[in-house]
Structure 1
Amino acid sequence: MDDARVLAQVMRKMMLRILPFIMLGYVIAYVDRVNISFAAIQMNVDLGFSATVYGLGAGLFFLSYGLFEVPSSMLMERVGPKRWLVRIMLTWGAIATAMMFVETPIQFYVMRFLLGVAEAGFFPTIMFYLSGWFPAAYRGRAISWIYIAPPVASIVMGAISGWLLELDGLGNLHGWQWLFLVQGMPGVILALVIWRFLPETPTEVDWLSATEKEQLGVALSRDAALVVEHARHDLLGALTNPVVLLLGFIGLFGNLSVVGLILSAPAILTDAAAMDTISIGYLVSGSGILGTVLILAAGWNSDRHGDRLRDAIILALACIAGLLALAWAPSPWLAIGGYLLLAVCTFPVGLLCVSSAPDLLSVRQLAVGIAAINTFWQLGSFASPYLTGIARDATGGYSAGLYAAALAASCQVALMVYLRHRVRIARAAHSLVLAGREFKGGTTPA
């Protein structure tokens, strides 16, 4: 069997044995960070929370997530990605469940902040872990399977959240308390499963032969040699790396444009389309199904042609169109169409940007670099729901916030265009340098 076939066989094995654990963990993580969008329908009324109080509490998760992202990732490098992943899941599952005991705005703020602290480092840990298993030619497809977690979570959350809210009064609990209880505990359970069954590195598994392990190592080493190195590999080095900064601000503007909508989607759709809770749940589930298909297609296509940022730009423009349609919304159908366009396209944009990071950063930069990038992203996530809530209380509607979100998304597109231009120039120059070295060594440049 030739090398390409061996490597393809290795990838199939890893897709089946590695990715399901990671994907399920990300599904649960996403549910636990955004299920307040459904809980708020009852919780805000029961506890007397204004849109501003809710928006601040919703956003505080992302603030603490961002602040503790780099420290968490640095600890992960010391203890190993598998152990750190289990620690993260145990603590966030317990805190997500304890959200059911919130009674005051201060308690709401504290619990959301602690949830972010607990989950900080989760995504960089996943990315670091996968970079040790999947070469660049397969990484887009691997990450796309991880990135379908948010739309899959939307399917699950939309399908069951409305029904959980209908349990209001059962066992002397409010419906929103049942929602936090049922959707929080799976994080703790899955942490124990991952501790038992997820392998740490390819070298320790018995389901890869010696030949397969060797071929995988060759592919990963070949990818590492193609990365344009940056002088420093610590936090300061990451923060002075233009690629890290550009990807960071791309995510900041992207999350600024969509997170407020995601966390207020049921309320926005209630206003714009006069939908009830169950119908909104089905719409959210439907958008999750369509988003899943598009994410897998985007990951496969970006691996095929290698230009991930080009596809991200196209999909981000579609997101802008969705935001404008939802903001204008002269009819319920246009509001629904705008929401679907945005909900379906926004996660593939994130996938393609995140998939670019391992292609552009060295292994030594990867953990801290992705953590630094994600910190920028979470700052946008923190500001988005808070500003959405302020705009809602100030204007009595969501249109002003949605128009502002479209402006933020336009900034994201401009930065992606610039980064794509920089990357193309840098890679061309790096290829010339490598060709010159090979020529001086006595061989003909490829």
Structure 2
Amino acid sequence: MQDQQLAASALRKINRRFIPLLFTCFVAAWLDRVNVGFAALTMNNELGLSSTAFGIGAGIFFLTYFALELPSNLLLERYGARRWIARIMLSWGVLSAAMVFVQGEKSFYALRFLLGAAEAGFFPGIVFFLSLWVPAAARGRITASFLLAMPVASVIGGPLSGMLMQLDGIGGLHGWQWMFLVEALPAILLAPMVLHVLRDSPAQAEWLTDAERDWLSRTLAADAVKAPTNHEGAWKLLLNPLVLVLGVVYFGVVGLNYGMSFFLPQIVKEFGVSVGQTGFVTAIPFGIAAIGMIWWGRRSDRLRERRFHLLLPLVLTVIGLTGSTLVEPPALRLVLLSVAAFGIFSALPIFWTLPSAVLPVSSVAAGIAIINSLGNLSGFVDSYAVGAIKDMTGSFAGGMQLIAGFGAVSVGLLILITRNIAWARMDSVAADDVAEPFSRQAT
């Protein structure tokens, strides 16, 4: 009983201190990453960009993101999450604001390339940071609370981007330039807050009692004992079959996400609505996804089950995205796209509980970075493919079907690799000590 009370108290404090800030930071990051999809509604015509050129520019972000992900996470371990995450936010905010200077294909490619380098390491760094603070049994809910920023950013960003793009001509700037400038400011302003609020380890948490720190240390140590114990160097992990398979799986999983986030504004615009209306319509699937993500993560923690909670939403995503390309009525297409959005955003936090459960403790930070960087190559491959297919066929349908196909491959691989691992169900007493009081008291 005492451990349950300590669990509830400690996790409530961690949740309230870190999650609102990390959530806000990720909203800013996600908005700066995908608002190029809204810019395309007018920027492509004004700059003479083809769908293929836009796809290359949207996706080239992920080449430097891929190349620098692992080095960034290793530097985060060396210098601490507090300093490194603040550095990432400041640099990406400045470069996102610099998108106002885009004048054609070359400058578009160059700035997206630099933006990927600036943001590399942010997401896996946060996932690793949470693994240092949150016991495994509560990690699904906490991770869902953080990842909720993605659909929420799209819910906020859709209407906001639509309204900012109505500022066309003011101050001699295009609407899309105003959008890039205004939406870059939160990242710059949040950087000093990260330095002030974050702590690199529970030992530095002056806001926890001695008993809470002791409970947290014991619980995290128990989680570490259950994890694999073999030791591999960070670069050797690049040849680890499990890490590579998880990277391939994440390629298909996150590709479903980027397919929605980058191209949904253009798909919705084809419904015959205005730019402003497009912002509000695109918010609908992401609003449903936001509700589903937090509910599904809580359900997974409460039932202490991971496998079904990962596979079912991914299947729904593949069905919804594929179905949206096979029907004509805009309302029905929006329903199916909403199903797809619910599925992919509900699956993501469950997926990110997997690496820390199957990788050695000493390899978790590097493993997460490798999986994330390999998976995020889909941002380049899928964006380029969708743009090229759009130019060839005049439709987004073929590109969305390709992305859904990659997602189906990921489902198949996950079925195979998650059959007989303890991560699928958490049946230990320790899980009860963490999950139950947290589900009752922490919000």
Whether the TM-score (by the shorter chain) exceeds 0.5 is yes
Relative distance call for 1:59 and 1:267 in structure 2 (3 A) is same
Alpha-carbon distance in 1 for matches of 2:368, 2:13:
26
Alpha-carbon distance in 2 for matches of 1:324, 1:251:
19
Give, in angstroms, the shift of residue 197 of structure 1.
2.4
**How many pairs align?**
427
Relative distance call for 1:170 and 1:426 in structure 2 (3 A) is closer
Q: Classify the secondary structure of the residue corresponding to 1:159.
A: helix
Structure 2 contact 32–184 (Cα < 8 Å) conserved:
yes
Give, in angstroms, the shift of residue 242 of structure 1.
3.5
Percentage identity across paired residues of the two chains: 36
Alpha-carbon distance in 2 for matches of 1:293, 1:243:
32
Paired AA for residue 225 in structure 1: V
1:69-84 → structure 2 map (5 Å cutoff): 69-84=69-84
Alpha-carbon distance in 1 for matches of 2:77, 2:90:
19
Q: Classify the secondary structure of the residue corresponding to 1:355.
A: coil
1:388 equivalenced with 2:386 (yes/no): yes
Give, in angstroms, the shift of residue 362 of structure 1.
2.8
1:70-219 → structure 2 map (5 Å cutoff): 70-219=70-219
Paired AA for residue 325 in structure 2: A
Q: Which residue of 1 aligns with 2:432?
A: none
Give, in angstroms, the shift of residue 426 of structure 1.
11
Paired AA for residue 156 in structure 2: V
Q: Which residue of 1 aligns with 2:417?
A: 419
Give, in angstroms, the shift of residue 344 of structure 1.
2.1
Q: Which residue of 1 aligns with 2:435?
A: none
Deviates more, 1:74-83 or 1:299-308: 299-308
Alpha-carbon distance in 2 for matches of 1:290, 1:93:
28
TM-score by length of 1: 0.92
Q: For 1:306-339, what per-residue CA distance to the aligned partner results, in whole angstroms no more than 9, with x for missing partners? A: 3323211100111111112211122112211121
Relative distance call for 1:427 and 1:5 in structure 2 (3 A) is closer
1:5 equivalenced with 2:5 (yes/no): yes
CA RMSD of aligned residues (A): 1.8
Alpha-carbon distance in 1 for matches of 2:205, 2:413:
41
Unaligned runs of 5+ in 2: 429-443
Alpha-carbon distance in 1 for matches of 2:190, 2:423:
44
Q: For 1:231-277, what per-residue CA distance to the aligned partner results, in whole angstroms no more than 9, with x for missing partners? A: 414221x2233432222111111233442342111111222x22322
Give, in angstroms, the shift of residue 422 of structure 1.
4.6
Q: Classify the secondary structure of the residue corresponding to 1:409.
A: helix
TM-score by length of 2: 0.93
Q: Classify the secondary structure of the residue corresponding to 1:195.
A: helix
Alpha-carbon distance in 2 for matches of 1:257, 1:279:
24
Structure 1 contact 247–353 (Cα < 8 Å) conserved:
no
1:264-275 → structure 2 map (5 Å cutoff): 264-271=263-270, 273-275=271-273
Paired AA for residue 392 in structure 1: K
Structure 1 contact 260–386 (Cα < 8 Å) conserved:
no
1:33-432 → structure 2 map (5 Å cutoff): 33-236=33-236, 238-271=237-270, 273-423=271-421
Alpha-carbon distance in 1 for matches of 2:16, 2:317:
32
Paired AA for residue 266 in structure 1: P
Alpha-carbon distance in 2 for matches of 1:283, 1:419:
38
Paired AA for residue 165 in structure 2: L
Alpha-carbon distance in 2 for matches of 1:187, 1:232:
35
Structure 2 contact 305–424 (Cα < 8 Å) conserved:
no
Unaligned runs of 5+ in 1: 432-446
Of structures 1 and 2, the larger Rg is shown by 1
